[in-house]
Amino acid sequence: MKLALVLPLLVPLLTAVACILAGASRVAQRALSVLGSGALLAAGLWLLRSVDAGGIQVVQLGNWPAPFGITLVADLFSAIMVAITGFVALCVAVFALANIDPARERFGFHPLYQLLLLGVCGAFLTGDLFNLFVWFEVMLMSSFVLLALGGERPQIEAAVKYLTLNFIASGLFLTALGILYGQFGTLNMADLAVKLRDQPSGVTLSSAMLLFVSFGIKAGVFPLFFWLPASYHTPPVAVSAIFAGLLTKVGVYALIRVFTLIFTADPATTHTLIVVVSVLTMITGVLGAAAQYEIRRVLSFHIISQIGYMTLGLGLFTTAAIAASIFYIVHHIVVKTNLFLIGGAIGHVRGTGELKQLGGLYRDYPWIGLLFLIPAMSLGGIPPLSGFFAKFALVKSALEIPSYWPVVAALAVGLLTLFSMTKIWAEAFWKAEPEGATGGTRGPVPLLMLVPIVAMALLTVAIGFFPGTLLDLATRAAGQLMNPNGYIEAVLGRTP
6 binds another protein per the rule CB under 8 A = yes
Continuous segment of H or E residues that includes residue 298: helix 295-316
| Contact call for residue 16 and another protein (CB under 8 A) | yes
- Report if residue 179 touches another protein, rule: CB under 8 A: yes
Would you call 1 helix, strand, or coil by DSSP? coil
Q: Beta-carbon neighbour count of residue 279 at 10 Å?
A: 22
DSSP-derived letter for residue 63 is G
The span from the CA of 391 to the CA of 309, in Å, is 8
Subset of residues 186 to 215 that bind another protein, contact rule: CB under 8 A? 187
Helix (H) or strand (E) holding 74: strand 71-74
According to CB under 8 A, which one of 38, 49, 181, 486 is a site residue for another protein? 181
Nearer to another protein, 170 or 269 (CB): 170
Q: Maximum distance among all alpha carbons in the chain?
A: 72
Does position 290 bind another protein by CB under 8 A?
A: no
Cα torsion for 242, 248, 254, 257, to the nearest 10°? -90
Which window, 60-68, 266-274, 412-420, 426-434, contacts another protein (CB under 8 A)? 60-68
CB of 423 to another protein, least distance (A): 15
Residue pair 306/379 in contact (Cβ under 8 Å)? The answer is yes
Among 415, 387, 228, smallest CA distance to 310 is for 387
Nearer to another protein, 157 or 400 (CB): 157
Closest to another protein by CB, 154 vs 223, is 154
Q: Which of 1, 14, 35, 461 binds another protein (CB under 8 A)?
A: 14
Distance (Å, whole) CA 343 – CA 352: 9
Q: Which of 54, 55, 156, 370 binds another protein (CB under 8 A)?
A: 156
DSSP string computed for 327-393: HHHHHHHHHHHHHHHHHHHHHHHHS--BGGG---HHHH-HHHHHHHHHHHHHHHT-TTSHHHHHHHH
- Is 291 near another protein (CB under 8 A)? no
Q: How far is CA 453 from CA 163, 237, 318, 339, 387, in A?
A: 30, 13, 34, 8, 17
| Number of residues forming the site for another protein (CB under 8 A) | 56
Interaction between residue 230 and another protein (CB under 8 A) = yes
Told to check if 153 binds another protein by CB under 8 A, we report yes
Q: Check binding of 184 to another protein (CB under 8 A).
A: no
Residue range at the interface with another protein (CB under 8 A); choices 25-33, 54-62, 274-282, 415-423: 54-62
How far apart are CB 349 and another protein at their closest, in Å?
21
Point out which span in 37-45, 84-92, 161-169, 451-459 binds another protein (CB under 8 A). 161-169
Q: Which of 120, 121, 159, 321 binds another protein (CB under 8 A)?
A: 159
Residues of span 342-371 touching another protein by CB under 8 A: 354
Nearer to another protein, 2 or 396 (CB): 2
Determine which helix (DSSP H) or strand (DSSP E) holds 73, and give its type and residue range: strand 71-74
Residue 432, phi-psi category: left (phi > 0), alpha (psi -120 to 50), beta (remainder): beta
Interior/surface letters 397-424, b for 16+ CB within 10 angstroms, e for the rest = bbeeeebeebbebbeebbebbbebbebb
Q: Contact between 63 and another protein (CB under 8 A)?
A: yes
Applying CB under 8 A, the residues found at the interface with another protein are 2-3, 6, 10, 13-14, 16-17, 20-21, 23, 59-63, 108, 130, 134, 137, 141, 144-145, 148, 151, 153-161, 163-164, 167-168, 170-171, 174-175, 177-179, 181-183, 187, 230-231, 234, 293-294, 297, 354
